[in-house]
Structure 1
Amino acid sequence: MSTRPSEAPAPTVDVHAHILIPALQQRAAEADADGFAALQALEMRRNGQESLAASGRMIKERWPQLTDLDRRLADMDAQGVDVQLVSPSPSHFYYFAGEKLSLELAKQANDAVRGFVDRAPERLNGLGLVPLQHPQHMVEALEHAVLECGLLGVEIGSFAATPADPERSTVELSDPRLEPFWSRAEELGALVFLHPFGCSLDERLDRFYLANTVSQPAENAVALSHLIFSGVLDRHSNLKIVAAHGGGYLPTTIGRSDHAWRVRPEAQRCAEPPSTYLRKIFFDSLVHSPRELRALVEAVGPGQVLLGSDYPFDMGSEQPVDDVHAAGLPTADAARVLAGNAAALGITASAALAARPTA
């Protein structure tokens, strides 16, 4: 009989957790006051006064969770989370910025995340930012995040549009100008965390907090559909895309996409039915319902879902591990969601990495 000790279980990993970077906001506001003001005006139009006021109170109340390491670690312990993959709050995308400023802000964010992770590398790892509004600079920012800062990848929005001219400057994830970015992310094995912020439906969602409850799942569905239908996932089959909020409306309504692919020639730019690609995308578990989490796992497969909390925002989960158990998944599937899938993707604490990428 072997006397070798059994391997330690894989750590429970939360792939969807945020930090605020006050210095980044200050730099963006100082460097482009007009652009920053336009962004604030856009947020008012999209959210409405009532929701913006409530969000302001929420941020003030949760400031310690967003900025204080000790509070974060204590909350992780209470949740049963071993490792957090932290990313900047999506409010830091600043897609209004011009070319030079956008690259500066992305690198400043990457450095800030690295600095935060380095304070608890046995519990944290991180994602950086890239300027989606300027595709020609995305590879440089990605390489800075992964090769220079040692982060696991980057976070991007569902689209980028400059508030001053949103129609002319909109960048969708199907944009051919993103091909070098997808290629380099694939080469590096970098994670690309898709997290919407804002919605082009604008004033139609400016009450009842529809700007979050409806727009986030809708934006996820639109962005993922751009990736699928345009053939990005055919050309880059080894991309590691992780979609926030369970991928929104798409995974459990994919039948309509498959039907369109069969009957509409303009929807046949991808090689296979759209549902096929759900097994090539990863999704977090943040769907706020045991029934919906079971449906997500059924739609995409138990190997494609990762624990996600959206810590520490009020639209996140206070007890994400309990939420996974509440879904009543088979024991092996729950273990994969909580730990196994993250381990297979190489998502672990920064201190546990044997070496940082060099190529």
Structure 2
Amino acid sequence: MSDRHAQATSPSADVAAAPVVDVHAHLLLTELQDEVAARDPEGFAAAQALDARRNGTESMAASGRMIGERMPLLISLDARLAEMDRQRVDVQLVSPSPSHYYPWAGEELAAWAARETNRAVAAHVAGAPDRLLGLGLVPLQHPHLVVAALEDAVIANGLAGVEISSFAGDVELSDERLAPFWARAEELDAVVFLHPFGCSLDERLDRFYLSNTVGQPVENAVALSHLIFSGVLDRHPRLKLVAAHGGGYLPTFLGRSDHAWQVRPEAHGCRELPSSYLRRLRFDSLVHTPSALRALVDAAGADRVLLGSDYPFDMGVDDPVERVLEAGLPDAETRAILSGNAGELLGARLPRAATRVGVTARITEGGAA
């Protein structure tokens, strides 16, 4: 551990009231999924078959059991708030479970599903406006529809932004057709939460749960590389993009990308070294080990990392605050990850009345070292 990580000081009293904010928490919309299946049974069945092919029968069965056991946490407001209290989390930024992306859906169904998702998420968070904020969806596979869906989420439904996948069909995040979306997200000061759904490696990862343990970090790395190398972040420097799962494999292995940028002309689509763009992105803290979190902070900066749990799935963590404390970061950096960075990300959208325990109390109780 570096000297910087070893030097923790007593937090000042003026941050005691800062709310602890989890930016990676999910909501399952079962009725919407049933309606989508009813409206396009063939498309839905094909998507289910693809999911099964990518994950394998063993993982599909295990995931089904896990979701069944945790269903109350995914759909019940009371269960969510009780679990937040147990975790000592003051505010959740709630995003729809990635099963609702429907990247195969045609234009009409995709636009309808995005609107219904936005409405349903808004209704859920309205049940506890002092504790919850919401993210909606956009039909990424139809670029000409995404601006309207973004506006529906943020303007019509009062959500903080939208959740997107790492790709949809033939649409990568570097696709020029998405330029109006990035520009409008900047204008609206909207959060864009990058959370992969599925992995394009398909059957190569259909055993040992590699579809998630390897697939998700790969998808994060590929999607972020598309954003960096294509110059999207040059053209939209105020974009508030948060990458789930700590950004996957990318943040701590960008030396190879920097080298490619220097020696390969086709890799020179961005103005600066690829590693410099970590300062323009944000990442959740869900990297599972103290050393991995310290490495992420070293690579991106403590001001670019926010608390994330992947609530309530088994690949998330049930004690997200304690996981941050275990990294032994200086108190100022711990406070930033638990609260301060979310305040900068969400601004006036953050419900200030939510604080129950506060960051100072969490550090004191957790014994950050």
CA spacing shift, 1:7–1:211, aligned 2, 3 Å: closer
Contact 1:13 1:342 in 2 (8 A): yes
Instruction: Output the CA distance in 2 between the equivalents of 1:350 and 1:140.
Output: 24
Question: 2:279, 2:15 → 1: CA distance?
Answer: 28
Answer whether contact 1:85 1:125 (CA < 8 A) is retained: yes
Q: Aligned pair 1:18/2:26, yes or no?
A: yes
The answer as to 2:188 corresponding to 1:180 is no
Q: Tell me which residue corresponds to 1:167.
A: none
Correspondence for 1:243: 243
Superposition deviation, residue 71 in structure 1: 1.1
Count of matched residue pairs: 341
Q: Which residue identity does 1:119 align to in structure 2? A: G
Equivalent residue for 1:356?
A: none
Picking from 12, 32, 57, the partner of 2:65 is: 57
> Which secondary structure state, in structure 1, belongs to the residue aligned with residue 128 of structure 2?
coil
Distance 1:92 1:277 in 2: 30
Matched residue of 1:346: which SS? helix
Q: Encode CA deviations 1:306-344: one digit per residue, 9 max, x unaligned.
A: 000000000000000000000011110000000000001
Could you tell me how far 1:27 is from its partner in structure 2? Answer: 1.5
When normalised by structure 2's length, the TM-score is 0.91
Secondary structure of 1:121's counterpart equals: coil
Partner of 2:365: none
Match of 2:359 in 1: none
Corresponding residue SS for 2:254: helix
1:130 aligns with 2:135: no
Partner AA of 1:325 in structure 2: L
Alpha-carbon distance in structure 2 between the residues aligned to 1:127 and 1:195: 12
Q: Say whether the 8 Å CA contact 1:117–1:125 is kept in structure 2.
A: yes
Cα deviations by residue, 1:242-270 (Å, 9 ceiling, x for unpaired): 00000000000010000000000000000
Task: Output the CA distance in 2 between the equivalents of 1:202 and 1:346.
Answer: 36
1:26 shift after superposition: 1.1
TM-score by length of 1: 0.93
Work out the CA distance in 1 between the residues paired with 2:286 and 2:182: 25
Structure 1 contact 309–320 (Cα < 8 Å) conserved: yes
Specify the alignment match of 2:6 in structure 1. none
Residue 31 and residue 282 in structure 1: after superposition, are their counterparts in 2 closer, same or farther (change >3 A)? same
How do 1:303-322 and structure 2 match up within 5 A?
303-322=303-322
**Cα distance in structure 2, aligned partners of 1:148 and 1:350:** 18
**Structure 1 residues without counterparts, runs of 5 or longer:** 162-169, 354-359
Corresponding residue number in structure 2 for 1:328: 328
- What are the residue-to-residue correspondences of 1:144-223 with 2, within 5 Å? 144-161=152-169, 170-223=170-223
Change (3 A) 1:225 1:7: closer
Supply the RMSD in Å over aligned alpha carbons. Answer: 1.3
Give the residue type in structure 2 aligned to 1:26: D
The letter of the residue matching 2:157 is: C
Q: Deviations over 1:17-43 (max 9, x none)?
A: 001001110121011111101100100
Q: Is the 8 A contact 2:262 2:268 kept in 1?
A: yes
4+ runs of 1 displaced by more than 2 Å?
Answer: 5-9, 347-353
The residue type equivalent to 2:37 in the other structure is A
Taking the TM superposition and a 5 Å limit, the aligned residue runs for 1:288-299 are 288-299=288-299
In structure 2, how many angstroms separate the alpha carbons of the residues matched to 1:7 and 1:95?
42
Whichever residue aligns with residue 343 of structure 1, its letter is: G
- How many percent of aligned residue pairs carry the same amino acid? 66
Larger RCO of the pair (alpha carbons < 8 Å, separation 6+): 2
Deviation at 1:9, TM superposition (A): 2.4
Residue 172 of structure 1 aligns with an amino acid whose one-letter code is E
Report how far residue 350 of structure 1 moved. Answer: 6.2
Distance of 1:43 and 1:171 partners within structure 2? 19
Paired residue secondary structure (1:62) = helix
Residues 43 and 104, structure 2, Cα contact 8 Å, conserved in 1: yes
Structure 2 distance, partners of 1:195, 1:92, is 12
Deviation at 1:6, TM superposition (A): 5.2
SS at match of 1:308: coil
- Give 2:122's aligned residue: 114
| SS at 1:234 equivalent | helix
CA distance in 2, matches of 1:262, 1:306: 31
The whole-number CA distance in structure 2 between the counterparts of 1:246 and 1:7 is 25
Structure 2 residue identity aligned to 1:122: D
Other-structure match for 2:362: none
CA 1:264/1:270 → structure 2, altered by over 3 Å: closer, same or farther?
Answer: same
